[in-house]
Structure 1
């Protein structure tokens, strides 16, 4: 048993995960680059309903090609995490924008004990290479809002280049369906206080002829909707306190106007306004109370996640 554990420690299994949709121009080079950087790794290309030769080219380059019929990057990552077992996972895109030669260092950090290693584009060449200004603005907006809310300093919230431990992959619930999955992944990690490490990488824009699948407006709306939903779930006390406070203040404003009339005339001249103001104040208080209750449940969920993760790690060690 001890000899087997030592062997697994010195010879970890590595899986390279490449979700792809119509990447025939770049996928061959990406597979070759990761094969050169991580010779012992299994390279998985998940074809998400491509209409070009992505799957054919990946197979010819020696990758393990699988199909995922549910459209969307989140659906592909969910399938990858469910189906593939490895000690270390490296996830990248098939568009040749991430350098494969950074993968060994990312793997090394996971083997040191980090749960997730983030390939940080924004601290290097992203803003010079990326020719889409609204994407740059969106990255800054998302980064600033999440770091402020979680009191963190993650430099690249939405990068698709990451490395994971086995425990993280098998205990992380992938709920998003599309490109907002990276944002969800980062927020989940900050909320659960998992061990994160950011590693600056050299980002490069897509080569000529390769077309981005991102829709600046549509995907931007989905990302912001995801942030809104996750803040409501992970930080319910500040979320509902702010909403409840705004509603309550509006109600107090109406009530003050009614009280001024009463002070001057001795009569309640606007009963409908009085009723609405009292209802708004009550709704605001109820929202704040709901935030307190949901905050307790969120803390309980964090505790349960840690218990489940520790139990999973314990069972994994004993199986080995």
Structure 2
């Protein structure tokens, strides 16, 4: 894709690398971008205990020590200070290839997308994921696709490209690894054009330790997906509890011959859970209609704003 005849100033593209204890990988990542002509490289360090900052500075990157903790906080801080037209974000652990930047950046430059995410799962190499991490990624992405009616396959990727307008329109609050999920949700909620492209995903270098805890962080991300769904797909949000209530009602009804309760007590319990399930389902339908109308209104406002900007540019 590098041979496309796109004319743009590569200094308008900020390469953003959030890092924490990446001393053994950061130099190669920075030099990888420099080899393909990108020298505007910003490294946000999360108070590393090794020599990550020194290695990044020696390789020619601008280094900022973030004021707080967590990958999400570093990203929010960098996004707020962003002045370039475009930003490409990549992990600093050497698992993604800088030379594949054009796969992500070109759709943004061409106006085909506001936000492009690299699909690591599609291009994973042997050993890139442990069995547990791959299973967790697949389950989280499957859950996300159901909750957000989306076709995205890798919402947790750290290799992304986007415009300044795109990222600054997002309302990001998460400090930890949930930030990638929040970014994706915000893009969908705000009606931005988002697409995925396959990227190569390599095994992590031996000396670079992962900061992601598969069980703890997997649970947090899954709960975040469910929580965010109440705004984008309320029918799913309420439907989960509605389905659970109906299942309990059915199990109680089916267990009637084996339960010694008074029949009226059992019947009351069955009707109670069935009633709760029906109320939650109705609430989901009503909230879903409201959310749909909200998205349509937002799209109309955005379309009107773009039309006004075009008219202003003509004068």
Could you say which TM-score interval applies, normalised by the shorter chain?
A: 0.7 to 0.9
How far did 1:276 drift?
3.5
Q: Normalized against structure 1, the TM-score is what?
A: 0.82
How many residue pairs are counted as aligned between the two chains? 302
Aligned residues of 2:226 and 2:237 also touching (Cα < 8 A): no
- 1:163 matched to 2:161? The reply is yes
Q: Distance in 2 between matches of 1:308 and 1:54?
A: 44
The corresponding residue for 2:106 is 108
Aligned residues of 2:125 and 2:203 also touching (Cα < 8 A): no
Q: For 1:156, what is the secondary structure of its paired residue?
A: coil
Q: For 1:129, what is the secondary structure of its paired residue?
A: coil
The corresponding residue for 1:263 is none
Change over 3 Å in CA distance of 1:242–1:217 after alignment to 2: closer
1:268-320: CA deviation from partner (whole Å, max 9, x where unpaired): 95444444344333322331232133223422442454356557756877589
Matches within 5 A, 1:231-250: 231-248=229-246, 250=248
Equivalent position to 1:279, from 272, 291, 297? 272
Q: For 2:142, what is the secondary structure of its paired residue?
A: helix
Aligned residues of 1:48 and 1:70 also touching (Cα < 8 A): yes
Equivalent position to 1:209, from 207, 210, 221? 207
Matches within 5 A, 1:171-190: 171-190=169-188
Q: Distance in 2 between matches of 1:118 and 1:48?
A: 23
How far did 1:257 drift?
8.3
How far did 1:50 drift?
1.4
How far did 1:38 drift?
3.5
Consecutive unaligned residues of structure 1, counting only runs of 5 or more, are 1-8, 261-267
Q: Distance in 2 between matches of 1:315 and 1:103?
A: 33
Q: Distance in 1 between matches of 2:160 and 2:8?
A: 22
- Let me know the Cα RMSD of the aligned residues: 3.0
How far did 1:118 drift?
1.7
Pair member with larger Rg? 1
Structure 1 stretch 247-256 or stretch 26-35: which is displaced more? Answer: 247-256
Q: Distance in 2 between matches of 1:84 and 1:189?
A: 18
Q: Normalized against structure 2, the TM-score is what?
A: 0.83
Consecutive unaligned residues of structure 2, counting only runs of 5 or more, are 1-6
The structure with the largest helix share of the pair is: 1
Q: For 2:126, what is the secondary structure of its paired residue?
A: helix
